[in-house]
């Protein structure tokens, strides 16, 4: 085996030291693990070793892989956050829409109730002025129909309120899910 003194620098190939030659030979005969151990031990002791490139190559690969995994996990978390934010915005818009519809329906019911009260008042005034027997049947039917419409509309408003509560519940679950993902 040639030593460092026997080798002379050559312009085309450059200078090769004894450690690099030994490392190359050990790798060729299948002692890669031993070379890694030697290089790691040399690094711990603060020396240089011909196998340094093997150790640092493996380390760099593992660091690159870790960085890639971190980057992908951040990307996944960001995508999930964006998705959940869009869902929250959608739920908020639905909630606002339902609230507006509920308020409008509430105003409509009040207006209908006022109209019915006016009709009832007119009916009572008409009864006192007209013959009770002829107008009594028409007015009673009209009153019953008006109250049935109001009851149906009130049921509709109750359903709208339930739907609003369901949307609030779904929104709360989505926000909780986002918080859990962010904590992970």
Query: Residue 100's pLDDT is what?
Result: 92
pLDDT in tens, 78-99: 888 898 899 999 999 998 998 8
pLDDT at residue 65, rounded to an integer: 80
Kindly report the pTM of this predicted structure: 0.35
- Res 12: pLDDT: 40
Q: Is the pLDDT of residue 109 over 60?
A: yes
Residues 6 or more apart from 19 whose CB is under 8 A from it? Answer: 48, 49, 50, 51
Within 10 angstroms of residue 54's Cβ, the number of other Cβ atoms is 18
Which tens digits make up the pLDDT trace of 43-63? 678 776 655 555 555 566 666
């Amino acid at each position: 085996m040639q030593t460092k003194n026997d080798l002379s620098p050559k312009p085309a190939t450059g200078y090769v030291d004894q450690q690099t030659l030994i490392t190359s030979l050990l790798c060729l005969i299948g002692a890669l693990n031993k070379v890694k151990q030697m290089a790691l031990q040399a690094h711990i002791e603060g020396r240089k070793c011909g196998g340094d490139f093997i150790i640092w190559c493996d380390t760099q690969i593992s660091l690159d892989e870790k960085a890639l995994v971190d980057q992908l996990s951040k990307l996944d978390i960001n995508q999930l956050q964006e998705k959940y934010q869009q869902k929250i915005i959608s739920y908020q818009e639905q909630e606002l829409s339902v609230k507006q519809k509920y308020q409008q329906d509430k105003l409509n019911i009040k207006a209908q109730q006022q109209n019915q009260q006016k009709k009832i008042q007119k009916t009572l005034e008409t009864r006192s002025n007209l013959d009770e027997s002829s107008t009594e049947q028409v007015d009673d039917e009209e009153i019953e129909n008006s109250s049935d419409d109001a009851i149906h509309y009130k049921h509709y408003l109750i359903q709208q309120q339930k739907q609003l509560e369901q949307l609030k519940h779904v929104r709360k679950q989505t926000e909780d899910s986002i918080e859990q993902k962010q904590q992970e």
